Amino acid sequence: MSNFSKALDKIISKEQGASQAQNISLGAAGDHQRAFEYEDRVTSRRLEASQGIKKMYQPRLYTERELNSLRFVLADEKAVEQRAALEELRNQIADGNAAVGKTVLITSPIDSPAVSVFSRNLASILTTDESVTAILIDMVNTKESLQLTDSLKQPGVRDFVQDDSLSVKDVIYPTGIQRMRIIPTGSGLAQMGELLRTTRMRVLLKDVTRRYRERYTIIIAPPINSVSDVELLNEYADQIILAVPYSKTMKRDVIRAMGKLEKTKFLGTVMLDVIEKFKTPLDRLGLG
Amino acid sequence: MYRPEVDIELYLRNVNQYKWLITLMFIVTALALAIAGYNKQKVYSSYSTLELGSETPIKPLIGDGAVTPESKTIADRAEELVFSRKLMSELARNLGAVDGEIDTQSEEIALNQIQNRVSLNQRGDNYIQLVFDDADPFTAKQGAEQILELYMAEESQSRVGGASEAYEMLDEQVQRIETELTEAEELLKSYKNEKLDGGVTTEADINRQMISLQGELSQAKRDLRESEIQYSTLSRQLESEARETVNVGKQSGIQKTIDTLESKLAELRTNYYDDYPDIVELKREISNQKQLLRNEKNKAQNTSDLDDSVYLNEAYQEMKLNRNNAKTRMDTMRIRVSELEKNIKQLQQQGKTVLVVDAKLAQLQREYETKQGNYVDYKERLERARMTKALATDSRQSDITIYEAPFLPVSPSGLRFMHYLLGGLVLGLGLPLGLIYLLQFFSQQVKSKEMLTDMGIPVLVSMGKVKTQVDHRVERIDKSLRYILLAGSLVILTTMVMFKVFARGGI
């Protein structure tokens, strides 16, 4: 959890402490009154945030066809299970406090485009709430991730780390999803694993993760088994998710990856690209 | 504990994942086996069944005298005989596959083809089948008849030859052992004559003599000891008697003087007082005499001097005679003991020689008995072999009877097109499914939530692949292609069945 989130929780707990003090004198009626007041404050804060968010620059929105070609999970009946899974995951990440943004590190034991697709879908599902935004920091240069940016030449993480003249806002781009921004991998030949040790990378992560309290930051990290310095990623992440591509990951890769991730922040694993089971005649008749 | 081998859901996912593998393996296997079955030529088999080791009518009359081979041995020999080059060549000639001797390569190939059509099957412990396969049922029957005829002739010849050979071999053995036995007997006899008639007694005799001599020696030693004691006692008695005789003579003289002096003293005391000089003198004299008597008594105990009086003593003379006799006996006993001891030593020396002779004799005896046993054994075998030979030459006494004669087969044998067709369908489906199961069992790939939770790693959600419109289209094409391939292969199979039914008259 970022320092910002901790500070906010502190304020809320103080408010709750004050209300408890009042409750002693007011009794049951006081409880309700205090709860209403708290809800009012939260709602007003979220309204205020959503009003500000509405003013975000949004050049255009993806059409349904574009969303489909970019492998976004659509709200149709073909992807009911996937959407339900993403929503369930969103709730687990929010942990009852959706209005407060968090930094989620998504990595996998092996290199797979499915991680990029999953991350963008997670970011997308998080931004369905109008009071929060999401930003993807893409550290993996895959075909799938490149599709979200307009040009390959747009500066991204690599450029920011290597070019001191660039500021953070220079590498943040809007996407065709409302309230969703992206920092692409960028150009350059430097290995992402080596860049993770630089001060500029620290500056980037610090700035992005702590600027807005209602912003979710999704870091798409390179395959964890191919990175030696994982301290920075572990430090800035509030929660860590290990994406495990189905039938491509070996048990030993998962064990090795688990050894590199910080246990206290580890939320769990997500199995991706799971193949549907073969439908037997019984299944087709609804008897399976 | 997660066990992938019982995870049905994972198995169904694997089936879905490897559906192309299943499809292709099914098509290839089913078509390959169907084509193989379609092109397989019909084979007709004719065979004869032989009963081995059956009892002949005469055998009970003969009893167990004749040696009959075990049925297994007959079966093994049957295989050797049937597939022998001689029998196969004869069969090939009889069936017209070759003419005369087999010299050329093409004839060798023809022989090999004939050999491949012959088979020998064992049915139970006592039955064998001689089978001949051919595309033509009549040829199959003819081949089976030829094999049977050739085998029976060869078996009979082999049996007679074997029995004669065994008889001759045993006869030679009996003659050799007989010679050896005679030699052993002669050797034993001559050794006994040489040693036992030459004075060498047996170990038992030596023992007997030794016991007797030792008994005599003990008796002689006892007698010697007795004689020595007797001699020593008589010597002591003789010395004591001599001393006694001498002292008694001297002391009696002194005592007489004392008595005379004391009677004189008593006479004087009647008239005089004791201080009378004669009385005083007499007292002194008596005292001297008493002293003298005492000295004499002491002297008798310490001195051995003898005087002539002793030799006149009769008791002394008798004792001396006895002592001399005892000495004579003692010397005799000593000589006897010495002789006996000498005899015992001689006997012991003789005993050592006897042991060597006995060992040699025992060895010769053993050799003789062994040879005798062998001789009896071989003689019995020779007799049995003679009876076996006699039985072998008589065909009525054969251990092999024809249980089932060759017949004309009406339906083809072995696997037919239908079996290949069904086998291909079952194998085509079972092989890939089994392969997938094995893959699931041994795979280390992460394919289920349970596998991760079993490792202590929580699983938040699992998601299928996010598919685009293109993906869906590709999937549809993929599915159609599979169905087309499957349908195509089924059409081919059906066509083959139809052809088989209508063109070739059955599947």
B468 touches chain A (CB under 8 A): yes
* CB atoms B461 and A249 under 8 Å: no
pLDDT bracket for residue B337 (50, 70, 90): very high
The tokens describing A257, both together, are 């990856």
Both A12 and A119 in one domain: the answer is no
* CB atoms B459 and A72 under 8 Å: no
Both A121 and A261 in one domain: the answer is yes
Beta bridge partners of A216: A134
**CB-nearest partner of A278 from B12, B460, B464:** B12
Asked whether residue A280 is assigned to any structural domain, the reply reads no
Cβ within 8 Å of residue B390, ≥6 positions away: B66
DSSP state of A72: P
* Chain A nearest CA to B433, separation (Å): 13
* CB atoms A275 and B464 under 8 Å: yes
ipTM of the complex: 0.82
Contact A105, A205 (CB under 8 A): no
Asked whether residue A59 is assigned to any structural domain, the reply reads no
| Tens-digit pLDDT profile for residues A105-117 | 999 999 998 999 9
A180-183 and A103-107 beta bridge pairing: unpaired
Both A46 and A150 in one domain: the answer is no
What is the percent of chain A where pLDDT is above 70? Answer: 85
Both A48 and A69 in one domain: the answer is no
| Tens-digit pLDDT profile for residues B445-500 | 999 999 999 999 999 999 999 999 999 999 999 999 999 999 999 999 999 999 88
How far is A22 from A5, CA to CA, in rounded Å?
26
| Tens-digit pLDDT profile for residues A231-244 | 888 888 999 999 99
How far is B172 from B160, CA to CA, in rounded Å?
18
Task: Give the number of residues written for chain B.
Answer: 507
The tokens describing A53, both together, are 């968010």
Which residues in chain A touch residue B9, judged by CB atoms under 8 angstroms apart? 277
* CB atoms B463 and A272 under 8 Å: yes
Cβ within 8 Å of residue B373, ≥6 positions away: none
* CB atoms B468 and A68 under 8 Å: yes
Tokens 């000295």 identify what position? B295
Sheet holding A180-183, edge to edge: A173-174, A180-183, A133-138, A215-220, A103-107, A239-245, A266-274, B459-464
Q: What does the angle CA B128 – CA B134 – CA B139 come to, to the nearest 5 degrees? A: 95
Both A68 and A10 in one domain: the answer is no
The tokens describing A124, both together, are 């997308």
Torsion of CA A220, A225, A226, A227, to 10 degrees: 70
Domain holding A35, by residue range, is 3-54
Asked whether the whole model's pTM tops 0.90, one would answer no
How far is B428 from B31, CA to CA, in rounded Å?
9
Contact A249, B445 (CB under 8 A): yes
Both A13 and A100 in one domain: the answer is no
Chain A contact probe: residue of B15, B460, B473 with most A CBs at under 10 A: B460
DSSP run (H or E) holding B479: helix B469-503
User: Could you give the number of structural domains in chain A?
Assistant: 2
* Chain B nearest CA to A9, separation (Å): 25
Asked whether residue A205 is assigned to any structural domain, the reply reads yes
DSSP run (H or E) holding B498: helix B469-503
How far is A220 from A90, CA to CA, in rounded Å?
16
* Chain B nearest CA to A237, separation (Å): 18
Chain A contact probe: residue of B12, B436, B459, B461 with most A CBs at under 10 A: B461
Contact A168, A160 (CB under 8 A): yes
Q: Rounded to whole angstroms, what are the CA distances from A239 to A92, A105, A213?
A: 10, 6, 15
**CB-nearest partner of B466 from A121, A241, A242:** A121
Mean pLDDT of chain B: 84
Cβ within 8 Å of residue A176, ≥6 positions away: A60, A61, A62, A66, A67
* Chain A nearest CA to B8, separation (Å): 10
* CB atoms B17 and A247 under 8 Å: yes
Give the relative orientation of helices B137-196 and B71-82 as an angle to the nearest 10 degrees.
120
**CB-nearest partner of A274 from B444, B460, B462:** B462
CATH at residue A112: 3.40.50.300
For chain B, the domains span 1-39+415-507, 205-350
Both A190 and A98 in one domain: the answer is yes
* CB atoms A244 and B446 under 8 Å: yes
Both A234 and A160 in one domain: the answer is yes
Q: φ, ψ for residue A74 (rounded to 5)?
A: -90, 160
Tokens 């930051």 identify what position? A217
Which residue in B has a C-alpha nearest to residue A92's C-alpha?
B460
* CB atoms A82 and B463 under 8 Å: yes
Size of interface A-B (CB pairs under 8 A): 114
3 state DSSP class of B273: coil
CATH number for the region B205-350 comes to 1.10.287
Which residue in A has a C-alpha nearest to residue B15's C-alpha?
A278
Contact A271, B5 (CB under 8 A): no
pLDDT in tens, chain A (288 residues): 444 445 445 545 555 554 455 555 556 677 888 888 878 887 877 777 777 787 788 888 889 988 998 899 988 878 888 999 999 999 999 877 766 788 999 999 999 989 999 999 999 999 988 888 999 999 887 766 666 666 556 888 989 998 899 999 899 998 889 999 999 888 877 778 788 888 999 999 999 988 888 899 999 999 999 888 788 888 889 999 999 999 999 999 999 999 999 999 999 999 999 998 888 778 778 776
Q: What does the angle CA A168 – CA A169 – CA A171 come to, to the nearest 5 degrees? A: 75
Q: CA nearest A82: which of A117, A110, A112, A111?
A: A117
Contact A269, A243 (CB under 8 A): yes
How far is A95 from B79, CA to CA, in rounded Å?
84
Which residues in chain B touch residue A85, judged by CB atoms under 8 angstroms apart? 461-463
Both A13 and A144 in one domain: the answer is no
How far is B264 from B258, CA to CA, in rounded Å?
10
Asked whether residue A282 is assigned to any structural domain, the reply reads no
How far is B11 from B435, CA to CA, in rounded Å?
11
Asked whether residue A285 is assigned to any structural domain, the reply reads no
**CB-nearest partner of A275 from B17, B446, B466:** B17
Contact B465, A273 (CB under 8 A): yes
Contact A138, A183 (CB under 8 A): yes
Both A176 and A206 in one domain: the answer is yes
Asked whether residue A253 is assigned to any structural domain, the reply reads yes
**CB-nearest partner of B461 from A247, A270, A278:** A270
